[in-house]
Structure 1
Amino acid sequence: MEEINKELVGEFTRAEVDLALNQMAPLKAPGPDGMPPLFYQYYWPSIRDEVSEAVLDCLNSEKMPSCLNHTFLTLILKVKSPEKVYDFRPIALFKSGYHALCEEARSDEASSSDSGLVARFWSKIWKPGVSGKVKHFLWRACTDSLPTRINLMKRKILSDLICHLCGRVDEDTLHALWGCEAVKQVWDRDFNWVNQFEVAQGSFQDLVEKVLSKPRLREDFATTAWFVWARRNKSRLNEKTTPLNGIRDAIRNFLQLFHSCREPPVSNKMQRQRNWIPPKPGQYKVNFDGALFNENDEAGVGIVVRDSRGLVVVAMAEKIIKPHSMECLQILATRHAVIFAKEIGLQLSHFVGDSKIVIKGLLGGGNAILIYRAFV
């Protein structure tokens, strides 16, 4: 008891600030500062010291600057034609810094759960390789923030708690996404290992914690729950819905499309391995290349001279008039390299370029060599 009391009355720490920030919904509507929690979470390595110092100063000194208490008040309609004040539901949009203070203050309250376990659970919520909206949906479901009929009744928006699909049980998050008889067949194939009795005694968060212990099922579970919720809302509005026996195919196509968009494009060009071979002592290697800048309608030539140890002796870059073709540019780059080597007094030099056509033309025979050599 003494250790618990010491922990409760002790000062707040940076670790608690980190934990509070990770527990904040990243896409919550921003307050007057215009910064959603996602901004702080993404750039946390860069701003951690300053923000943590400000938060801890407020918490440990029990004093908060008035600027942090500014907020936007937004009125949400409860009915179609509001006439009185209680026909609106006010929502306060505080600054993210204020939310961080509140989250950390709540985290200091006595709890039967280990803070490390809680942090690990919430980190798993954001790990599945699914889209951000699915992750955010899963977070809302775990925090019981979805507009289920029970939650809407608490806000005095609805008076009927019964699920409109099965017509027998009150609609909470666990029932809407998992327990309803109208959606059970969606879960039966891949999640029939879950003990239904244990799930019925807990919350949706308990179910998620159980499923997330199996990494290979995380993506399927999160996406399936999202599809089930979307289908429930469409059916409530009498809109066209995906048949239950077609949801698995829809989920598979959704995940394949998402992963294909995340994969970097595969280049059709084969990557060439370039091993730079140094010249003999007393000789030099002159590497040259040209580049086109279409956005500026310009071109450029670059030259690098290295000795037998691979050290750069001299380098040069120059803008030139844009030629009509890349081949012509490579010929010009070759000419500039030869002239540059002559101007700096190099006698024994090896010239290396990227254009096989130009190099073969200079080394080979026939009409090409006459044209290229004459130009160079």
Structure 2
Amino acid sequence: MSSFAESFRELLESMLDKFPFEVLCEMAVRAKLLWHRRNCLVFEDSFSSPARLSKKIQAEVALIRSEAEQRVVKQPKQDLSPQTWTPPPLGVLKANWDVVVDKTNSRVGLGVVIRDSKGLLGATLWACKATLPDPILGEAAAVLRATSLCADLGLTHIVLEGDSLGIVKAVQQTEEWSSVGLMVRDIKLLLSKFSS
């Protein structure tokens, strides 16, 4: 690109690459309020002093910064020690599931990975559901989806593995009367069709 931009778009694109987000945000606020000041003068015959404009710019930028800081959700520190995958016995497939819960948007994301004893990928599935943002409910939905995927694929020898001890215990109990009881009942019904 030459030293002079050929269009406003090129100028803007070069600025987006060069400046940090905070500077670009302040530039956008300045442009918006300058345009608003110009429109007030042209259409309403109302003049606003540069000092007043400067105060408005500072106030709006401060408001944007404080809103951005409030949106940052502090995540609890997790133990990110390396996890190792343990293969299933020969002739058996392992279905691993995991869930992420978005409480703000009442959504649950779930994933399932099926592998053989050599670690070769057999199938994968991911889904995003609008539901109550309950981690236990999300885990139950993931186990149910993993089990139904195995059944749909006609698999008979499977091992299910996930990180929710509460759901594993619920599936192992004789009766479940919690909020996920119906899902656990469906999981057990599907599991009864498998050989292992």
Structure 1 length-normalised TM: 0.27
Higher strand residue share: 2
- Tell which structure's C-alpha radius of gyration is larger: 1
Structure 2 length-normalised TM: 0.49
Query: Of the two structures, which has the highest relative contact order with CA contacts closer than 8 Å and spacing of 6 or more?
Result: 2
